[in-house]
Structure 1
Amino acid sequence: MEMNARYTSFVAVGDSFTEGMSDLLPDGSYRGWADLLAARLAASAPGFRYANLAVRGKLIGQIVDEQIGMAAAMQADVVTLVGGLNDTLRPKCDMARVCGLMEEAVETLAPSCRQLVLMRSPGRSGPVLERFRPRMEELFAHIDALAARHGALVVDLYGSTALSDRRMWDVDRLHLTAEGHRRVAEAVWQALGLDAEDDWQAPLPPTDPTGWAARRTADLRFARQYLGPWIGRRLTGRSSGDGRPPKRAELLPYELPLGRDEAPLGRDEALS
């Protein structure tokens, strides 16, 4: 890691987490941590270039097939790779295959960029994901080993108590809120050796506990609007990312579009 380094290009690879769901902007598009990071890097590097190849719902095999070669060819200063979590949430998951594909991705990307950044993805507190945690932790242990072998950085979002707070998660319970994305951008910024703006792991202020009736109402809404459709797509082999192009497919000079500095809104969005 180079302290106070200057980076002139950034490519983000992954799924809905890197696409930016559910950090919704007034124009209906998503911002997210990668866009926030790109904007901060661009502020100190004239001519800064940014590509975001992420597409919601992608499995690690699709990321390898559709994004890794393209990202490696761009020869960027910084490449971030986040993937595999969608695989671990499937009822049937071949973890040996997932880990092998992650290794293939890292072996391709690491020599092609100045700094590869991997992440232990954040996890929301609660019972829903508990059955999947052993798989997630197996994936994260593999990511740690790959990073050590290939000189990549690992940003440990999974170990952050603040990011596990349910208030950091959108109503779909799978995507971070705008504040969650802001904190991820800060975490990656600091991991790259750049001066901290704030403490991304600072706990949220205490709040009064939610009553039983309100929790059950929220659970029913979640099941009806998000969990049901998500299960339906799993059973039929469909994905919310089917036919969707990358967010920003070319490594081009990055300028914050007009109106994109407005405050993001909440989002009712299906699970990826």
Structure 2
Amino acid sequence: MTVSADGLGPFRSMVAVGDSFTEGMCDEVLGDGEYRGWADRVAERLAAQAGGGFRYANLAVRGKLIGQIVDQQVDRAASLGGELVTLAGGLNDVLRPGCDVEAVCAQLGEAAGKLASGARLLVLFHSTDPSRRMAGGSRVLPAILRLKRFVSELAEQPGVVVVELFDAPCFDDPRLWAEDRLHLSPEGHRRVAEAVLQAVGQPPEFDWRAPLPPVPPPGRARRLADDLRWLGRHLGPWVMRRIRGTSSGDGRSPKRPELLPYP
């Protein structure tokens, strides 16, 4: 679906649903100790355009699987009645061995149906392509492509738009990613926010697809040191959580559970 800003008019409220991507992991840390994230950045621009009275809720929690998003966030989000609703989920599922991608699609479709029914516009995402930047990313690419096709099918419905990140080569740049290589850096969040805003009909402020200025590649010793640090600080703990059946989001509450004035 193509969206015109003139056709929709200003949004007066926004509700964000999902996992760490939408919570804002690894963006700037705000005064309340929470991450900022692309969704906060979108809300800031929409609030400025609304000229007062804008409301925003963010129910996303890191580590959540699509079933948990459906069970813990979707009904709550639908009840808030936000005009603009964003939904990103399923990537945590497909990163796990043995993922049933058809079940993930079914749950994502259930979530999208509930959220779209009460919103002026529902925003979905085609995730970035991990095979171009991550060792082992090709293993999960078939599931990601299946999810991508399903999201495209959902976007054929009125009132649904997709933010296309998959084909944007700027996300191959490691500077758009945090040290853990799974979450966006502040620059990555800034670009996703701009992509969302343009997808919902806002006038562009910059070319979010443009490559960053080139820099000399790190030397072999630096790459090895970075890889060893990543293994110890990030991959190892992630694997241990999978073995234990725990999640980084266990016991966490959403950072903005109510649809309240923003900022």
Q: TM-score, normalized by length of structure 1?
A: 0.91
- For the Cα contact (< 8 Å) 2:57–2:257, is it kept in 1? yes
Q: Do structure 1's residue 53 and structure 2's residue 55 form an aligned pair?
A: no
SS at match of 1:44: helix
Match of 2:37 among 32, 35, 43: 32
Count the aligned residue pairs: 255
Name the CA distance, whole Å, in 2 between partners of 1:26 and 1:116.
27
**CA displacement, residues 223-242 of structure 1 (integer Å, 9 cap, x when unaligned):** 01100000000111100000
Alignment CA distance shift 1:250-1:26 (3 Å): closer
Number of the residue aligned with 1:127: 135
| Offset of residue 116 of structure 1 | 0.3
Aligned pairs for 1:201-216 (under 5 A) are 201-216=209-224
**CA displacement, residues 85-105 of structure 1 (integer Å, 9 cap, x when unaligned):** 000001121111101101101
Give the residue type in structure 1 aligned to 2:82: A
Gaps of 5+ in 1: 256-272
**Sequence identity of aligned pairs in percent?**
54
Give the residue type in structure 2 aligned to 1:56: R
Name the CA distance, whole Å, in 2 between partners of 1:164 and 1:69.
35
Give the residue type in structure 2 aligned to 1:2: S
Number of the residue aligned with 2:245: 237
Number of the residue aligned with 1:263: none
Give the residue type in structure 2 aligned to 1:174: L
Aligned pairs for 1:47-126 (under 5 A) are 47-124=53-130, 125-126=133-134
Give the residue type in structure 2 aligned to 1:29: E
SS at match of 1:42: helix
Name the CA distance, whole Å, in 2 between partners of 1:154 and 1:204.
24
Name the CA distance, whole Å, in 2 between partners of 1:180 and 1:198.
14
Q: Do structure 1's residue 149 and structure 2's residue 186 form an aligned pair?
A: no
Number of the residue aligned with 2:21: 17
- For the Cα contact (< 8 Å) 1:110–1:150, is it kept in 2? no
- For the Cα contact (< 8 Å) 2:16–2:58, is it kept in 1? yes
**CA displacement, residues 58-92 of structure 1 (integer Å, 9 cap, x when unaligned):** 00000000111111111111000000000000112
Name the CA distance, whole Å, in 1 between partners of 2:120 and 2:4.
10
Q: TM-score, normalized by length of structure 2?
A: 0.94
| Offset of residue 128 of structure 1 | 3.3
Name the CA distance, whole Å, in 2 between partners of 1:24 and 1:88.
27
